[in-house]
Structure 1
Amino acid sequence: MSIPSVATTIVIKNCPEKDTICEFDRPDSTFTIKQIPIPEHLPEGTCLVKTLLLSNDPHQRLSIQKNQEIGRSYAAPLVPGDIMTSLGIVEIVKSNSKKYEPGQIVIGLIRWADYAVLSDTADLHQPIKQPLEYPLEYYLSIFGITGLAAYFGLVDVGKVSKGSVVVVSAASGATGSMAVQIAKNILGAGKVIGISGSDSKCEFVMHELGADICFNYHDPNWETEFTQYIGTQFIDVFFDCVGGDILNFLLTKIKKGGRVAVCGSISGFNDKNSGKIGNWNEVITNTITLQGFLVFDYQDRFLEGATVLVEAVKAGKLKTDAAFHVKTCVGNDITEKIKQIPKIWKLLFTDYKPNGKLITRIV
């Protein structure tokens, strides 16, 4: 493998207050391209890696928010001049580390770049066993943080049990699609109701993932139809990835003592006003528990969760072909290809996002 003399990277130019600007060469562009020399001699405890796959996650938007309160962030915010980061999978090209050797495939916190020099402790997390038993994409979706977040959110936070009535928002998305299947096929929920952003996505949630029904929140009548469907029955657990208006409405449908596993709040990522909650009376009078969680809270139990998910795949309880969607960076040269990374990532915040986990392939 020939190693280039420079790495082509995506660097933060402006931290956004609201929407990210993923077009380049504008005064207000969120990102810019930078060529960074690759050192001939690596510092001790580092590896030169080639990027293979990037995970696209909503929390990356929070990491670049302008004027963050550092003490309220769960990770150190990125600032102008920093290379944009992502979970992902890399190949070790060159090593000055006792932990990793050239040729190993490793999952970790990587960079929006074709090549990067990464720390063997802070950045590189775990090698993936070779020869591969499963496609690499599984380790960023089914067995990755999306599958683990869905599992621990339902089991530990939602406390879903056999027969529970469970609602999942963003049910066609990365974590939501896993939550639907785990609730239905692993935990034995009695009824699983999805909420998604189009009729076609709702069809996917019902016919591919196995939800009992799915409601399109863009339909002006969806709340009325939901109320008619649920009747006098109430929800045991709401697995929420969205917040905002959907959470406000669902709080009126949760039983006394019911639970909300707050996995995400994507409705308020670009506009905080869109994520506000106005139904606190429902929480108080019906003694509803809302609990936010981070998947890395369960890092010491990842093996436990991954073992359950692997066994579920082997038993046919999780549909692997519905778990992820890969978009490949295209272009006439490496700069054009790398410029596609933020545009693919921004699909997360639109109605054009593909079903399942969105993964970017760098070639």
Structure 2
Amino acid sequence: MTSRTTKQWILASKPTGAPVLSGPDATFELQTATLPPLKEGQILCRVRYFSNDTGQRNFIQSTVAPDRLYVPTVPVGSLMRSGVLAEVLESAAPDVFKVGDLVMDFHLGTWSELVVLDAATSQPLTPLPNGLPLTHYLGAFGASGLAAYAGLAYAGGVKAGDTVVVSAAAGATGSMAVQVAKRLLGAGRVVGVAGSDGKCAWVRDVLGADACVNYASPTFEADLRAATPGEVDVYFDNVGGKVLDAVLTRVRRHGTVAVCGALSSYNSAEPMALRNWFEIVSMRITVRGFIMLDYLDKAPAILGELIGAAADGRIKLQDGETVVEGRIEEQPEIWMRLFSGGNQGKLITELIV
């Protein structure tokens, strides 16, 4: 019988600004717990990788009322949720999973060394082409890739020849959105927005963007105008804030903003201020929020296309993951790197036990 004692992180208090990692007001608390015996249809797993996502910030505190949020929130005293890639240690669903199988659960995993998962909601993992790491199931071939494709093709309505701008273009979702727009949907011009000259070089040279603009530059707005000499058809927005404000002045009449996230405001106690909001009225811009879960019926076809494109070289995964080794005690700190630009592509924790 496998030991059922595990270390796990719970939400200790809801932050009003950036999560607090230590002290009496710490957002998270590490506890040791004994897991209950498995019920029929459950599996006991050792977590090998955590998915780190900016959207998890909304799980613990959001400006959206809990009954209006697209996923259940994490109540104080409850386990912090995360997508996980894990190895089966015991199975009460032997017809589905056996000991040693690798599984992924993107919605119901937690920040724990050991987790009990429902076999029905856990995804078996099969080898990827060309020996690609299975961790890509947490990023390029997981929610990040699905959101990028669905947001562009369905929420944004990108057509061949369009001019597309993607913010957070060096992040997990943005790096896929750049490539999907350019290489799969046939956009005529793709412009990335990222937070450093080095990241912009990667977005251009590896991901294939026609241009990339550094939002931290004092000449950002002028650089954006120069990078979009024609007007923008679709803006894929991951950040909101000053980047959204600037891009609104570049979107064409009847253009579209597909809103995937609002990273710039997640850790701010201040409301988002937009100077150029009236551009939406003047240019009759469509702003459409979306979540990946809206398009689950299309997920198998999307993933098949993404994996095929990676196999034949149209999608580049070079340096598209930042995998950080860490013990369970370090997980909140690793997750917080998302909000300081400490990653390129998908940020994943490889859990050391």
Give TM class, smaller chain: over 0.9
- 1:212 corresponds in structure 2 to 210
Kindly indicate whether residue 351 of structure 2 is the aligned counterpart of residue 362 of structure 1. yes
Q: Deviations over 1:242-270 (max 9, x none)?
A: 00111111111100011111011011111
- 1:60 corresponds in structure 2 to 56
- 1:126 corresponds in structure 2 to 123
- TM-score, length-scaled by structure 2: 0.94
User: Could you tell me how far 1:130 is from its partner in structure 2?
Assistant: 5.7
Contiguous gaps of at least 5 residues in structure 2 = none
**RMSD over equivalenced CA pairs, Å:** 1.8
The question of whether the paired residues in 1 share the 8 Å contact of 2:324 and 2:348 is answered with yes
- Match of 1:75, SS? coil
Distance 1:131 1:205 in 2: 24
Q: Deviations over 1:195-226 (max 9, x none)?
A: 11111111111111111111111111110122
The residue type paired with residue 60 of structure 1 is: Q
- 2:337 corresponds in structure 1 to 347
Task: Decide which of 151, 161, 166 is 1:168's aligned counterpart.
Answer: 166
- In the TM superposition, what are the counterparts of 1:41-56 in structure 2 within 5 Å? 41-56=37-52
Distance 1:161 1:282 in 2: 23
Distance 2:47 2:194 in 1: 32
- Match of 1:339, SS? helix
- Match of 1:58, SS? coil
Contiguous gaps of at least 5 residues in structure 1 = 330-336
Q: Deviations over 1:301-356 (max 9, x none)?
A: 11010011011112201112232111111xxxxxxx111111111011113x2210
- In the TM superposition, what are the counterparts of 1:150-299 in structure 2 within 5 Å? 150-231=148-229, 233-271=230-268, 273=270, 275-299=272-296
The residue type paired with residue 261 of structure 1 is: A
Distance 1:306 1:338 in 2: 30
- 1:111 corresponds in structure 2 to 110
Kindly indicate whether residue 102 of structure 2 is the aligned counterpart of residue 76 of structure 1. no
Change in Cα spacing, 1:67 to 1:241, as seen in structure 2 (3 Å) is: closer
Percent of residue pairs identical: 37
- Match of 1:321, SS? coil
The residue type paired with residue 91 of structure 2 is: S
Distance 1:130 1:234 in 2: 42
Change in Cα spacing, 1:297 to 1:80, as seen in structure 2 (3 Å) is: same
The residue type paired with residue 8 of structure 1 is: K
The question of whether the paired residues in 1 share the 8 Å contact of 2:11 and 2:78 is answered with yes
- Match of 1:255, SS? strand
The question of whether the paired residues in 2 share the 8 Å contact of 1:181 and 1:210 is answered with yes
Change in Cα spacing, 1:28 to 1:134, as seen in structure 2 (3 Å) is: same
User: Could you tell me how far 1:131 is from its partner in structure 2?
Assistant: 8.9
Distance 2:312 2:3 in 1: 44
Distance 1:316 1:280 in 2: 40
- 1:101 corresponds in structure 2 to 98
- TM-score, length-scaled by structure 1: 0.91
- 1:22 corresponds in structure 2 to 21
- Match of 2:140, SS? coil
Distance 1:72 1:272 in 2: 20
- 2:8 corresponds in structure 1 to 9
Change in Cα spacing, 1:130 to 1:180, as seen in structure 2 (3 Å) is: closer
The question of whether the paired residues in 1 share the 8 Å contact of 2:51 and 2:84 is answered with yes
Change in Cα spacing, 1:35 to 1:229, as seen in structure 2 (3 Å) is: closer
Change in Cα spacing, 1:67 to 1:178, as seen in structure 2 (3 Å) is: closer
Distance 1:131 1:317 in 2: 16
Find runs of 4+ consecutive structure 1 residues off by over 6 angstroms.
none
Q: Deviations over 1:268-312 (max 9, x none)?
A: 111153534342321111111110100011111110100110111
The residue type paired with residue 317 of structure 2 is: T
- Compare 250-259 and 126-135 and name the one that shifted more: 126-135
User: Could you tell me how far 1:67 is from its partner in structure 2?
Assistant: 8.3
The question of whether the paired residues in 1 share the 8 Å contact of 2:234 and 2:258 is answered with yes
Size of the aligned set, in residue pairs, is: 348
Distance 2:141 2:66 in 1: 30
Change in Cα spacing, 1:131 to 1:61, as seen in structure 2 (3 Å) is: closer
The residue type paired with residue 299 of structure 1 is: L
- Match of 2:56, SS? helix
